[in-house]
Structure 1
Amino acid sequence: MSKELVKAMQVLEEEKGISRQVIKEALESALALAYKKNYDQAQNVEVQFDENKGTIKVYSVKEVVETNYDSTLEISLEEALKINRAYEIGDKIKFEVTPKDFGRIATQTAKHVIMQRIREAERENIFEEFSQYVDEIMTGTVERQDHRFIYVNIGRVEAIMPLGEQIPSEQFEPDQRIKVYVAKVDKTSKGPQIVVSRAHNDFLRRLFEQEVPEIYDGTVEVMAIAREAGDRAKVAVRSRDKNIDPVGTCVGPRGQRVQAIVNELNGENMDIIEWNEDPVVFIQNALSPAQVFKVDFNEEAHACIVVVPDNQLSLAIGKRGQNARLAARLTTYKIDIKSESSYADYLEEQAALALEAQAAAEAAQDQDSTDDSVVEARDQAVEAEEAVLEAEPASDQ
């Protein structure tokens, strides 16, 4: 058994990447459990496996106490001193108790526990390895697909791409190689679960880093992304170097850079706009390709009314409201788009409402004044009546 274990440890270390120390500790723990199960539950047992000699020894560990000891767990100081005069109270003494038939029983009992510990160690290795790839792009091979997930082989493990992380328009064939974004790595009872995505905003961010060196080195920054995966995306960029045009840099010569990203995303349309710290300019840019006439802010509500020429209204809103929706996500403002003519009507309505409110306020003020006069007259009448009542007894006298 011992020689086979040593060989197995070597194979596991070489092929599975599990250190010998981890395997040795798992083995010794399992053998201690095996001994206690088959021989003596009460003992404090320690097992030592010598890799070099290939030997397994079982020890009963007892603590040195003064008197009144439990013989299975303790030894009196008097008895301990007979073994070695150096022992003191609190010391631990090991007594070998290896049974002659322990090899057979240990092999049968410990196998399951050893394999379980080894699996746990291997899972931990995988978790630590792939946790380093979170927020990165990896290339994998599509293995299969069901109604919930696409299963992607990314090396030592199979990652899952949930429905919400998939681009709805994409279809893949088995064995097809694809790029994926590692969204997270979770620990589960069945081992590490790696969740990958192609719909995540940061997948697009990483693709830009791969295709645009100026983004990778920090000269150009991706400031915000709004995306309806597979259909259209808006990407706001800015340059740290005033001599570099951030939009042109991302588009690339003859559009080659952005086209490479569009191809990777199977035709997802890409609007690259220049970010600006002035929200008016940023919102105007975000609604591109529509022209913006005016931006009217309500900072308290973090909202704005955007006025566009009448012939630009449909373009500004976009198909099924997509352009306006993406612009709102990109800028984080609630955007209400109006044409110039409807905005004029809106201003008239607001003016009329303001006049009505003013008239109502004035009427309320007049009513308050009238009410005050009535109360004052009533008070004066009461005072006069009281004066009369006070005067009548004096007249009778």
Structure 2
Amino acid sequence: MSTQLFDAIDHLAKEKGIDKDILMEALEAALISAYKKNFKSASNVRVELNETTGKMAVYARKTIVENVEDSQLEISLDEAKSINPNYDVDDVIEVEVTPKDFGRIAAQAAKQVVTQRVREAERGVIFSEYIDREEDVMTGIIQRKDSRFVYVNLGKIEAKLAEAEQMPTEEYHIHDRLKVYVTKVENTSKGPQIYISRSHPGLLKRLFEMEVPEIYDGIVEIKSVSREAGDRSKISVHAPDPEIDPVGSCVGQKGQRVQAIVTELKGEKIDIVEWSEDPVVYVSNALSPSKVLKVFVDEEEKATTVVVPDYQLSLAIGKRGQNARLAAKLTGWKIDIKSETDARAEGLLDDAEIEEAYSDNDEDLFE
């Protein structure tokens, strides 16, 4: 065996980013396997490789006995003493058993096993690289698609975007660049598998972290996200420093920051609201853009009854109940919305309370 094999292993290790020791161990295992298979040996053998000379040797472990019954496993005391006079019965000795024509057989076996180990090691390298990208956003290129999946090239691996994780309002074209959210990375028998999404709320959160420096730096916190992908989303933000405007930071000058995210999500509407530990304030904010007159809170049931002006009722509920549904997901509170007229009829508010509610809110409630 020449030094060319070791040169090839060096090249593979550098090209694939694989530890050379892993490949050398694979080569040794391949040679041992080839020896046992081709020479019908059941003995315990090891292979010694010399990278400098390119030579190899096979050694078998044999037990020293008086009378040899199995030459593959045993060696006579006389033969052992000819090697080293200090040997005695029941000692174990290593004897070189390298066959003359072993090089050709070994090369074939080595190629097959080393190729397999390279593939396994390469999969391990890829898994190690991508496992850190769970719950993160990656940019890929659409390679192909079928009735079930859109296949996205993420560099060293192809990820499947399942139909359930696609945005219903979005069209996917070959060679398009696409930002995707990595939901999970698994190391399977078929190699690393990456699960990605365009509809996950985490995508919206990560896009805001990428677009808004205050969020990335921890000055502004994202408290919650609720999303109906491709249509509308709500995100609540908070700044521990009262001098910081969390909503304004996310919107950006002339709406540039949020517009960049809307563009990435192909026109998905995004409501940015300020978080509050007070459920009255939080629920009122979450129902934006609707105006709220009064919020009644049931702490035990974690439920709220919200009263809105009559002309704001449809806006508060939203198309097919979407605004109310997203607000409930965002806050974690049940939300029952009532019009001002119904609230009066049910005795929830009297004229004085209605007048107070209007006076406590912005003047645009009267518009």
TM-score range, shorter chain: 0.7 to 0.9
Give the AA of the match of 1:247: V
- The amino acid across from 2:227 in the alignment is R
From the superposition, tell whether residues 185 and 339 of structure 1 become closer, same or farther in structure 2 (CA, over 3 Å).
same
Larger Rg belongs to: 1
Shift, 1:159, TM fit: 1.7
The equivalent of 1:252 in structure 2 is 252
CA distance in 2, matches of 1:139, 1:328: 32
Counterpart-to-counterpart distance in 2, 1:153 and 1:36: 42
SS in 1 for 2:336: strand
Q: Secondary structure at the match of 1:30?
A: helix
Give the superposition deviation at 1:79. Answer: 7.3
Q: 1-side partners of 2:83 and 2:105: how far apart?
A: 31
Q: Distance in 1 between matches of 2:67 and 2:303?
A: 82
Bigger shift: 212-221 or 17-26?
17-26
Distance 2:6 2:306 in 1: 75
> Percent identity between the aligned chains?
57
Q: Deviations over 1:236-284 (max 9, x none)?
A: 0001221111111111111111111111111111100000011111111
Q: Is the alpha carbon distance of 1:90 and 1:340 closer, same or farther for their aligned partners in structure 2, counting shifts above 3 Å?
A: farther
Q: Answer 1 or 2: which has greater helix percent.
A: 1
1: CA distance between counterparts of 2:91 and 2:149?
58
The CA distance in 1 between the partners of 2:276 and 2:127, in whole Å, is 40
Aligned amino acid, residue 327 of structure 1: A
Q: Could you say what secondary structure the match of 1:300 adopts?
A: coil
The alpha-carbon distance between structure 1 residues 68 and 56, as it changes in their structure 2 partners (threshold 3 A), is closer
**SS of 1:301 mapped into structure 2:** coil
For 1:339, the aligned partner's letter is: S
How many Å apart are 1:168 and its aligned residue?
A: 1.5
Asked if the contact 2:230/2:268 (under 8 Å) is kept, the reply is: yes
Residue number in structure 2 paired with 1:297: 297
Partner Cα distance (2:207, 2:38) in 1: 60
Q: TM-score, normalised by structure 2?
A: 0.87
Give the drift of 1:78: 8.9
Within 2, Cα distance between the matches of 1:289 and 1:160?
A: 37
The 3 A distance-change label for structure 1 pair 91 and 169 is farther
Aligned length: 348
Which deviates the most, 18-27 or 272-281? 18-27
Structure 2: any 5+ residue segments left out of the alignment?
349-367
Task: Say whether 1:275 aligns with 2:272.
Answer: no
| Partner of residue 30, structure 1 | 30
1:319 aligns with 2:319: yes
Note closer, same or farther for the CA distance 1:329–1:48 as it changes in structure 2 (3 Å cut): same
CA 1:275–1:89 in 2, change beyond 3 Å: closer, same or farther? farther
The one-letter code matched in structure 1 to 2:112 is: H
Q: Does 1:340 align with 2:340?
A: yes
Distance 1:135 1:86 in 2: 64
SS in 2 for 1:324: helix
Whether the 8 Å CA contact 1:165–1:197 is kept in 2: the answer is yes
SS in 1 for 2:300: helix
What stretches of structure 1 of length at least 5 have no aligned partner? 349-397
Q: Is contact 2:3–2:52 with CA below 8 Å preserved after alignment?
A: no
Structure 1 contact 69–76 (Cα < 8 Å) conserved: no
- 1:323 and 1:187 map into 2 onto residues whose CA distance is 40
CA distance in 2, matches of 1:230, 1:61: 68
Cα drift, residue 141 of structure 1:
1.2
> Quick one: which amino acid aligns to residue 333 of structure 1?
W
**Greater displacement, 195-204 / 61-70:** 61-70
Aligned partners of 1:188 and 1:325: how far apart in 2?
38
* Maintained 8 Å contact 2:282/2:331: yes
**1:316 alignment partner AA:** A
